[in-house]
Structures are given as structure tokens and as C-alpha cells.
Amino acid sequence: MQPLLRYLSLRQLTVFLEAARQMSFARAAEALHLTQPAISMQIRQLEEAVGLPLFERVGKKLSLTQAGQMLRHHAARALGELQDAEQALSALKGLRSGRATVGLVSTAKYFAPRLLARFAGRHPQVDIRFFVGNREILIHALRDNEIDFAVMGRPPETLETVSQAIAENPHRLVAHKEHRLAKARRFDFHELREETFLLREPGSGTRLVMEAMFKQHLFSPGKTVMLGSNETVKQAVMAGLGVSLLSLHSLELELRAREIALLDVDGTPVLRNWHIVHMNAKTLPPAAAAFRAFLCAQTQPHLDKTFARWGRGG
């Protein structure tokens, strides 16, 4: 292992992790403000040091090799530990500065930036960065120490974590604004048996909530369509492609514009909670600890005020 350590550089690992995250040398170059040839050169040098290819290309698709997957895991942990050390040293200076990386499930990105703006007004020298992905991606990021903590729905069962509920997260069935049941009151879920249900991808927390709802109502949808993001689901709903279950907190703009309907189905809203989750063994650096405390205190009041018009039950 000594020769590998001798020839590796932190710059190479940073470039490699960004390329692995983006699965594109061009997007990695843009994110790191480098040229694409510079990215390619750093990856090539890293592959020479490792002695194995890290990426492979099939057609136009870039993917990690087995060696690349293994290195990604260890590189993320190594850089995470160095960032922890940097934050621990910054703690000696107080909260005048510091940095934290916070994971957000994709639904949380609809409200977390506003809370960050308020926090930044109080602590302008603190750098908070968001890492957005579905639930499965955040679980891996927690495990690999790529993020300080995550804002998500259900905490992971497979990791030793500390979690705290910070706000309610009501989920509502949504449909086209002129759906035949848009104005119906408290109707049975099975009235939707002929509908197409729009599902998020496996690994999404929203997908898990919808599957739990199907199970609770002993319901099997006749037709489903899988879509990869909340935005795509909302656009499909507004186009009349089908109905879906979404967090109320992802619908503010569409509800204000009256471009989407909340269906008043028995058993809804499906109430879940927003949680802050971090690894049990991790000591949060001052910046992360301060932002965590701010979210614990301010998330529920912010969401209550923002969604007071629709309430839990619409």
C-alpha cells in the first residue's frame, strides 16, 4: 500500500470523487472550474498509481469499475476525515467561520435554502453546502462521511445514527387541477383504481411512503409510471398523465398558482416527519452543530407559516 500512498494526491482524489459523483468528466470540470483535459489527466495519473482502470465507458455511458467503486468508498472517507480535522481546528477560533456539508433528500430542497438564507444572515462567514440526492444516496454519503448530517424522512435502519424529528412532513395525493375528483370530499382510495400512478425511483423516500400507503389500503395500482424526480412527477401530474403522492412541502409554487389539485382521499394526509440524521460516531464540527440547532428550532415554524393556507388536510 505504501507505493500507492506515495503517488496519490488530495487533488487527484477530489477530482476522482467529483467525476464519480457526476459520471461525466465534462460536468466534473465545470463543477471544479477546471478544463476537461485537466480532469482526464488527473484521472489517468490516478489510474496509473492504482494500477487499475477506475472508469469504463459502454457506448456513451460512463460508469465505475469494481476498482473505482472500491476507491470511491475509501477516498470519500479519507477526505471526510480531513475535513473533520479542519473543522476541529476551526473550532478553536469559534463560530466566526467554518464549513459544513448537509445532505438533503430532494424534497427538502424546496424549503431548506430559505432556512439557510436566514442562518447565513446571522453567520455570514459560515459556509454551508448542500448535497442533494434520494434517500439511498444520502445513506451512502452518511456512511462514507461525505456529509455532516442529513435532512430526510425515515432514518436509515442499516446505520448506527442519531436522529431527531424536527417537523411534520404531510404527504398528499395530487392530480391535474381539473381531475374528476378534484372537488370531491373524503372519498375512498379505491376510487382511484383506474388511475395511472406516478412513482419515484427505488431508493426514494417518497416512493417508500407511497408503497406503504398501497399496503395499508390493500391497493394494487393497475398502471404505474416511474419518474426520477419530484419536478418530473409534478410536471406529469399537471399534464394529466396520472396521480401521485408527494410531500406537501414540495408543492408551494404549484398550489399558489392553482396548477395542481390536492385530492381529499380517506387516510390522507399521510403524516411523516422530517429528521436530522448523523452518524453516531461523528462529532459535528461547530458550523454543522450550529446549523443543526437552527434547523431544529426553526423548521417547524417556517413550514407552519408557509403552508398555513393549505394546512395538514388542505
Cα–Cα nearest to 84, from 282, 300, 307 = 282
CB 20 within 8 A of CB 56: no
Residue 1: its pLDDT value, please?
43
Residue ranges per domain, the chain? 2-71, 76-167+273-306, 170-271
CB 35 within 8 A of CB 29: yes
Residue 314: its pLDDT value, please?
45
Do 76-167+273-306 and 170-271 fold alike per CATH? yes
Beta bridge partners of 151: 104, 276
Cα–Cα nearest to 249, from 106, 112, 104, 110 = 110
Sign of the four-CA dihedral 212, 217, 221, 224: negative
CATH node for 76-167+273-306: 3.40.190.10
Residue 89: its pLDDT value, please?
63
Element counts in the chain: helices (H) and strands (E): 11, 11
Residue 273: its pLDDT value, please?
94
Mean pLDDT by 10 residues, the chain (314 residues): 62 88 88 87 86 85 88 83 70 66 93 94 89 91 92 91 94 95 93 94 90 92 92 95 95 94 92 94 88 94 89 52
Residue 313: CB atoms within 10 A of its CB come to: 12
CATH topology for the 170-271 domain: D-Maltodextrin-Binding Protein; domain 2 (3.40.190)
Residue 128: its pLDDT value, please?
92
The pTM assigned to this predicted structure is 0.70
Q: Output DSSP code: residue 216.
A: H
Of the options 2.60.120.10, 1.10.10.10, 3.20.20.450, 3.40.50.300, the CATH number for the domain spanning 2-71 = 1.10.10.10
Sign of the four-CA dihedral 225, 228, 230, 234: negative
Say if strands 126-133 and 149-152 run parallel, antiparallel, or are unpaired.
Answer: unpaired
Q: Report the distance separating Cα 146 and Cα 79, nearest Å.
A: 8
Q: Report the distance separating Cα 159 and Cα 174, nearest Å.
A: 33
Cα–Cα nearest to 236, from 181, 183, 176 = 176
CB 293 within 8 A of CB 106: no
Residue 9: its pLDDT value, please?
79
Provide the 3-class DSSP secondary structure of residue 314. coil
